[in-house]
Structure 1
């Protein structure tokens, strides 16, 4: 995890991407935010980039490769495992089964999409501040 690395947002809804853009712009973190519309596009990027992302915020229901399938691929890839990229889900709905499935794939958080811009801002700020303060195995030389 590179604390100044980009935040990867995987969200197939353009309106939700716009809300994320508004929030990240207002919060003013130095991290670039890179958006993907589907899991396959994000996977291709993560498998080929030398960039070490700060964290991944992923929707669950997406075309091509949903959030669960993407997380499983990232979690079982040895090269990506050692990068220690926090993976968090954002979803419009949640069931106990979804949350259990998410945590069984070792996600680091499951969040419901907030209904207001202020709610989303508070959630993103909490996530960013937590991970900025958190030590990861690859933060040591």
Structure 2
């Protein structure tokens, strides 16, 4: 039996955390969702994860270490440099988008305010990264 790789959600807003997890569950995505609520916790979880997650859904505005710094440290680590990281944030600032892609983000998604749209976006992200995307094999 194939073991599903977890989805890592890095989110400090409890409401967005609950909505994201609910949307993934409603989509019948059965990957475990592991949550970090600040950048420091995220790095500890990600850099020590076995197996690596199928995707990291990363907020930008985080306590302790911000999302851009988390992304840079993921990319700087030999083991996690190809790990898919999608920025999932409320920011639509051009500078955040450019900095995220420059830092190696695989995608940038602005969180919709509308509940149905938010659910649809998270569902599509989960389906693609958990079921469709072909990851680089771990060494």
Same fold (TM over 0.5): yes
How does the TM-score come out when normalised to structure 1? 0.88
Offset at 1:22? 1.8
Measure the CA separation in 2 of the matches of 1:113 and 1:86.
18
Structure 1 counterpart SS, 2:137: helix
RMSD between superposed Cα atoms in Å: 2.0
How does the TM-score come out when normalised to structure 2? 0.89
Offset at 1:9? 0.4
Residue 115 (structure 2) pairs with residue 117 (structure 1): yes
Structure 1 residues 59-99: Cα deviation after superposition (integer angstroms, max 9, x where no partner) = 10011111000000000111222xx3210111112211111
User: Is the helix fraction higher in 1 or 2?
Assistant: 1
Aligned residue pairs, count: 137
| 8 Å contact kept, 1:91–1:113 | yes
Structure 1 residues 4-40: Cα deviation after superposition (integer angstroms, max 9, x where no partner) = 2111000011111111122122112120001111011
Q: Following superposition, which runs of at least 4 residues in structure 1 exceed 2 angstroms of deviation?
A: 128-132, 134-137
Instruction: List alignment gaps of at least 5 residues for structure 1.
Output: none
Measure the CA separation in 1 of the matches of 2:84 and 2:35.
16
Measure the CA separation in 1 of the matches of 2:50 and 2:22.
27
Measure the CA separation in 1 of the matches of 2:3 and 2:122.
15
Structure 1 residues 33-64: Cα deviation after superposition (integer angstroms, max 9, x where no partner) = 01111011011112223222010001100111
Residue 138 (structure 2) pairs with residue 134 (structure 1): no
Instruction: List alignment gaps of at least 5 residues for structure 2.
Output: none
